[in-house]
Amino acid sequence: MFGHTIRLGRILGIPVGLHYSWFIVFVLVTLSLVAQFATEYPDWAASVQYSVGVLTSVLLFLSVLLHELGHSIVALRKGIRVRAITLFVFGGVAQIEREPSRPRDEFQIAVAGPAVSFLLAGAFYGFSRGVESLSEPLQVLGQWLGRINFILAAFNLIPGFPLDGGRVLRALLWSVTGSYDRGTRLASAAGQGIAYLFIVAGVWIAFSKDFVGGLWLGFIGWFLLSAAQATVAQLDVRRLLRGIRAVDAMTTDCLVLPRGMSVAELVEEHLLRTGRRCALVVEGDRLLGLITLHQVRRVPRAEWTMTPLEAVAIPESELHAVPPEMELVEVLALMDDRNVNQVPVVRDGRIVGLIGREQLMHVIRTRLELGV
């Protein structure tokens, strides 16, 4: 979902990363906390103010991570793979492989995150009371984290898709209407309405009271609006691709070239002359890999003549072949899941064609122009 991500490792097999925008908000949150502590607790040493500010920020984002793990654990128990958890400027997101197949599963996955945040709020408030007579900085830290986790849970339960509350709303609408698409469109419409309220409120606050706070609220509204609109767009794409098979959209106009041929030969004798954009690299009857313009561009021009195609081709084991009967909706999901732009279409162990995002876009454009 996000580019420019620093991978931190894995939790329960799920890759966890930090988007670069996280560092911006981490610094802003820390400085805001330090300024607040300096105003409310002027007797604290500067080192204490900064230490509590940094620790509070770290624990805040650890709380966000636990919130997303709540979603992820329930999704895993429902048999849905979680691709990654990413912390970014607006908090965190757990990227699940597919949408739930039942309203009940959607509901349970959605409420798991806020439930974790409410539990953390209670735990931090309890911690604050426990250290009340021991350390004022630790007591304040617990109070802040308890309050922030409570706000995080309550905010996420706002019924505006794609917030957790919006997903709860979708689950309820899905259950009532019996239609995933209908439930999603209604929940997305509610999400867009709430997003516009956030944007209007943010503009009003920015020009009447607090410019930074209003700007931040407006940005949150813009983010929610974009996400809700993107969800509807994804539904439209699924509708346009539904019922069409890979064999109907695949291209057979792909070169088949022997191993040992250089990248220079591919470009000069084939790509430039024919306008084709890909080639299958073979050794006899055995497929070795696929090479596209993307792979060609990764090779410095000075090395074209000495670089064989098989050295830069996508290996056959990474091509994620699909059967001719697979629907394009499933093909697109596979491409997104595996982060690839082309997949071979294979029948009885033999490649009969190639399908990529270009072919999918061509199908979508054609059906849109015909109003299908």
189, 211, 241 - which closes a domain: 241
Q: For 112-162, what is each residue's pLDDT tens digit?
A: 999 999 999 999 999 999 998 888 999 999 999 999 999 999 999 998 888
pTM, rounded to two decimals:
0.75
Instruction: Give domain status of residue 163, yes or no.
Output: no
- State the pLDDT at residue 372: 65
pLDDT at 188 over 80: yes
Over 70: is that where the pLDDT of 90 sits?
Answer: no
Residue 96 and residue 140 share a domain: yes
Flag whether pLDDT at 47 surpasses 60.
yes
* Residue-wise pLDDT tens digits, 291-311: 888 888 889 999 999 999 989
Token pair in block for residue 246? 């890979």
pLDDT tens digits, 62-74: 999 999 999 999 9
Q: Which of 241, 265, 290 is the last residue of a domain?
A: 241
68 catalytic, yes or no?
yes
Are 150 and 57 within one domain? yes
d(CA 220, CA 223): 5
Q: Which amino acid is at 21?
A: S
Confidence of residue 2 (pLDDT cuts 50, 70, 90): very low
Rounded to 10 deg, the angle between the 328-338 and 211-241 helix axes is: 140
Contact 322, 338 (CB under 8 A): no
- State which residues form the domain around 203: 178-241
Q: Are residues 194 and 317 in the same domain?
A: no
Residues 224 and 250 in one domain: no
Residue 291 belongs to domain with CATH number? 3.10.580.10
- With respect to residue 172, please indicate whether it lies within any of the assigned structural domains: no
Residues 64 and 92 in one domain: yes
Co-location of 229 and 312 in the same domain? no
Please give the backbone phi and psi of residue 118, each rounded to the nearest 5 degrees, phi first.
-65, -40
286 token code pair: 């055995």
Which pLDDT score, from 0 to 100, does residue 236 have? 86
Q: Do 213 and 92 share a structural domain?
A: no
Letter string b/e over residues 133-171, b meaning 16 or more CB atoms within 10 A of that residue's CB: eeeebbbbbbbbbbebbbebbebbbbbbbbbbbbbbbbb
Q: Is residue 295 included in any domain, yes or no?
A: yes
Q: Tell me which residue has tokens 């308890």.
A: 146
236 and 250 belong to one structural domain? no
Query: Which pLDDT score is estimated for 118?
Result: 96
Work out how many domains the chain is built from and give that number.
Answer: 3
68, 310, 316, 369: which is the annotated catalytic residue? 68
Dist. CA 307–CA 222, nearest whole Å: 47
| Tens digits of residue pLDDT in 312-329 | 888 877 778 888 999 898
| Residues 10 and 132 both lie in one domain | yes
CA distances from 225 to 186, 190, 222 (A): 14, 10, 5
In a shared domain, residues 265 and 136? no
Same domain? For 262 and 313 the reply is: yes
Give the tens place of pLDDT for each residue, 195-253: 999 999 999 998 988 887 888 888 888 988 988 888 888 888 888 888 889 888 888 77
Q: What is the mean pLDDT of the chain?
A: 87
Single residue among 241, 256, 286 that ends a domain in this structure: 241
Alpha-carbon distance of 368 to 364, in angstroms, equals 6
CA distances 161 to 23, 35, 85, 245, Å, are 26, 34, 19, 31
What pLDDT, on the 0 to 100 scale, is given for residue 235?
Answer: 86
Q: What is the rounded distance in angstroms from the CA atom of residue 231 to the CA atom of residue 114?
A: 21
